[in-house]
Each structure stands twice: as C-alpha cells, then as structure tokens.
C-alpha cells in the first residue's frame, strides 16, 4: 500500500511544503548563482526516470561556461568553481529537484537519476534500478555517495527497489541529513564528482 499510494502522496505534500518553506533559500541561491556564475541560473538535463522514461531534471548551476581557444568547454574540474563546490557539498544545487518531485518525475527517496547515455551500459540486474521513481536521495547516497564504486551503488539501488518501505525511507532521510551535514562522500578518489560509468564487468 505504501509503495503504490502513500509514497507518492507523501512526496507531493512534503515537496510542496518544502518549496514554500525554502522559498527564501531559493531566492538567495538564485541571486548568488546569477552573480557568480551567470545565466541561466537553473541547469536542466535529460535523465531517465521510472521505466526509463526520460524527463528534464532541474538543478542550480554549479559550473562556469569557460572555454578554450577553440570554443570547447574546459574540463569539469576547471569549470567547477569554489562556489559551485560549496553548492554541491551542501546539496543546495539539488533543491530545484523538489519541483521534479512535485511533478511526479521523481520521489524524495529512490535511486539517483543518472545520465541517459548510461542506459545501454546496464546489465540486466542493474536495469531494475528503474523499476521505481528516481530520488532526491537514496540508499546509495547515504552509504558512500560518490566515494563508492558504480557496482556498489547499483547493488544498493536494487536493494532499495526491492525493499521499499516507509521505515526504510525514514532511515534514508535521516542518514542523508547526517551525510550532508558532515559532507561525506562528495567526491570519488579520482574525480571532483564521480567517474564516468563505462559498463560493468558483471553481466548480471
């Protein structure tokens, strides 16, 4: 019953309340992003959701548009400014995703929505992460975030998809608060965020 009805109901109510309560934060962050990084303030990108349906995710911009002499964007680690790193480490860049939750694209808790180009790279087991709505936070985010391997992330995502419950969602939300406060697992060992997923050795 929770999975089929109450989870979506709570997503709608809680995201709406959060948007209202956090509206001053949205305004302040938007102004700072505009001043420090320019326009547009909101970054949008296509991501796969439940059943691999594509939607546009909303985030506050964290990178500059700095380019080389040929007009190509510089690497992420160059364009990710100190201010952008602060937004990411505090997860403030993800606040606009509350509108995705309100719309029904996402849930408060679920596997994080990854890049569309990863879809053909998943093995049969990993594809099950799309059996549920992607989340603002998830079981992988509060158990290592970007500091664990892709395989570990996907195992945690699939576990969540198979074991959704109200108590598990509450546990994930509480652990996420701790993760954000202590800024745990923001980066991997070799990247400012997370390495590119190139497929798994395990065929699943």
Whether 195 is in a domain gets the answer no
Whether 197 is in a domain gets the answer no
Whether 162 is in a domain gets the answer yes
How does pLDDT run across 165-176, given as a tens digit for each residue?
A: 999 999 999 998
Please give the residue range of the domain that contains residue 87.
Answer: 5-182
Tokens 């406060």 -> residue = 181
**Full 3-state SS string of 80-97:** ECHHHHHHHHCCHHHCCH
Whether 203 is in a domain gets the answer no
Whether 66 is in a domain gets the answer yes
Whether 198 is in a domain gets the answer no
Both tokens of 152, joined, read 């570990």
Rounded CA-CA distance 123/176 in Å is 28
Whether 129 is in a domain gets the answer yes
Q: How confident is the model at residue 141 (pLDDT cuts 50, 70, 90)?
A: confident
Whether 189 is in a domain gets the answer no
Rg over alpha carbons for the chain, rounded to the nearest Å, is: 17
Residue 184, class by beta-carbon neighbours within 10 Å (0-12 exposed, 13-18 middle, 19+ buried)? Answer: middle
How does pLDDT run across 38-67, given as a tens digit for each residue?
A: 889 999 999 999 999 999 999 999 988 777
Number of domains in the chain: 1
- Report pTM: 0.87
């Amino acid at each position: 019953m929770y999975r089929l009805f109450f989870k979506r109901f709570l997503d709608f109510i809680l995201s709406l309340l959060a948007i209202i309560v956090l509206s001053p934060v949205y305004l302040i962050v938007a102004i700072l992003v505009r001043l420090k990084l320019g326009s547009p303030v909101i970054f949008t990108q296509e991501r796969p959701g439940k059943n691999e349906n594509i939607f546009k995710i909303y985030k506050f911009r964290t990178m500059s548009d700095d380019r080389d002499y040929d007009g190509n964007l510089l690497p992420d680690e160059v364009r990710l400014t100190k201010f952008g790193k602060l937004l990411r480490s505090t997860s403030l860049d993800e606040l606009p995703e509350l509108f995705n939750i309100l719309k029904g694209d996402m849930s408060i808790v679920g596997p994080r929505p990854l890049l569309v180009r990863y879809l053909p790279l998943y093995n049969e087991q990993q594809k099950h992460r799309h059996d549920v709505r992607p989340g603002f936070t998830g079981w992988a985010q509060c158990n290592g975030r970007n500091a664990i391997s892709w395989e570990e992330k996907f195992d945690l995502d699939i576990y969540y998809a198979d074991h959704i419950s109200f108590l598990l969602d509450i546990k994930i939300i509480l652990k996420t608060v701790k993760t954000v406060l202590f800024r745990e697992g923001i980066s991997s060992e070799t990247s400012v965020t997370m390495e590119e997923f190139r497929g798994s050795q395990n065929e699943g």
